[in-house]
Amino acid sequence: MKTVHNFNAGPCALPQQAVDKAIDALKDFAGTGMPVICVSHRSKEWSAVMDECRALWKELLNIPDTHEVLFLGGGASMGFLYTAMNFLENKAGYLETGVWAKKALKEAKGLGNAYAVASSAETTFNYIPKGYEIPSDLDYFHITTNNTIYGTEIHEDIDCPVPLIADMSSDIMSRPVDVSKYAMIYGGAQKNVGPAGVTFFIVKKDLLGKVSRYIPTMLNLQTHIDGESMFNTPPVFPIFVMTETLRWVKELGGVEAIYKINKEKAALLYDEIDRNSLFVGTAAKEDRSIMNVCFVMAPGYEALQDEFMAFAKERGMVGIKGHRSVGGFRASIYNACPVESVQALVDCMKEFEALKK
């Protein structure tokens, strides 16, 4: 097999052992003689997977009994609508830190009074707003903890006077989280916890049922809590791979251990960006994401962008092209991206500088 270093922003690198287990399960799932994609979601074999997946989430993130874990379809983009449908009664506030935060706010505006409490749009979202006040009369305050396109991240759980809801699509399981501070955490799996096709929700149960509007059955989170994520057929294959991915996280030592590795990987790459005369980081240093490292050619070297892209590709770098809306480069170094791949990219940048200076 061709050797590559996968820096894709999602779907992205998964632990090899999770991939291998998935291949085995496609041949024969749990001794049933059937592929996992053909087994009944009501079977005892599948129920065991759902139970284990839910238990791993609760163990790895120390999720309190006040919260329930759901595995649904629709992606985090559907989560934008789930949020407003289930929590917006009078007014909601959003922290506008990028494209996905803007899209989340758009969905809420379609259902009621929602607005940006603070925004970094004026500088193309290259920092996390600070010093803003969260009004105490909000139904909830929504944040996007990691901004994949712009490479910024909220590194700590914020204190919030109203129910706090977070889209953690791209940094869940990458660092410890105090789940008790959140009314809901949600996100797509395809960054740190599995393949595309399943969305996780961690919901504080006693905050549901507070809105007066009719909520369509499939958009009502209580429906899925009552149905234990199986009101309708769940996305079985992505959930299976998610379970194997979480097993891998646990075997590595849990979220604390992953967090240490992630910080080391990010420091390795950011140090090279700051040292290398050909490149410059785009996010404010105090807000740099440890998941998505965004950078561009330094002033005076912009003409070398395409040449470096080709140079890196020849050396096995995959997925480092920046998002089409901002250009430049982006290395997504999620949990399963090995330090060896980060080192390979650093070596590539050093080699390119030596050739051009």
> Final residue of a domain: which of 208, 236, 252?
252
The catalytic position among 167, 171, 248, 265 is 167
Are 247 and 265 found together in one domain? no
242/143 same-domain check: yes
Residue 10 domain-assigned (yes or no): no
Q: What is the CA radius of gyration of the chain?
A: 21
| Boundary residue ending a domain (202, 229, 252) | 252
Sign of CA dihedral 241, 72, 101, 136: negative
Q: Is the pLDDT of residue 227 over 90?
A: yes
129, two tokens: 């707003």
- Other Cβ atoms less than 10 A from the Cβ of 286: the count is 10
Q: Is 64 inside a domain boundary? A: yes
| 71 vs 234: CA distance, rounded Å | 7
Q: Does residue 9 lie within any of the structural domains?
A: no
The catalytic residue among 57, 157, 171, 191 is: 191
Clarify whether 100 is annotated catalytic.
yes
* Dihedral over Cα of 45, 48, 50, 56: its sign: negative
- Integer Cα distance of 263 and 229 in angstroms: 33
- Our answer to whether residue 191 is catalytic in this structure is yes
Q: How confident is the model at residue 1 (pLDDT cuts 50, 70, 90)?
A: low
DSSP string, 182-195: -SEEEEESTTTTS-
Please answer whether residues 247 and 57 qualify as being in contact, where contact means their C-beta atoms are separated by less than 8 angstroms: no
Residues 68 and 173 in one domain: yes
- Give dist(CA 343, CA 30) in Å, integer: 38
Question: Do 181 and 268 have their domain in common?
Answer: no
As for how many domains the chain has, the answer is 2
pLDDT band at 325 (very low <50, low <70, confident <90, very high): confident
58 and 207 part of one domain: yes
| 331-345 per-position pLDDT tens digit | 999 999 999 999 999
Amino acid at the residue 267: A
Confidence of residue 327 (pLDDT cuts 50, 70, 90): confident
Residue 102 has pLDDT above 90, yes or no: yes
Tell me the pLDDT tens digit for each residue of 238-292.
999 999 999 999 999 999 999 999 999 999 999 999 999 999 999 999 999 999 9
**21, 100, 265, 321: the active-site residue:** 100
Residue 191 inside a domain? The answer is: yes
Is 90 exceeded by the pLDDT of residue 7?
yes
What is the arithmetic mean of pLDDT over 1-14? Answer: 91
pLDDT, mean over the chain:
97
Share of the chain above pLDDT 90, in %: 97
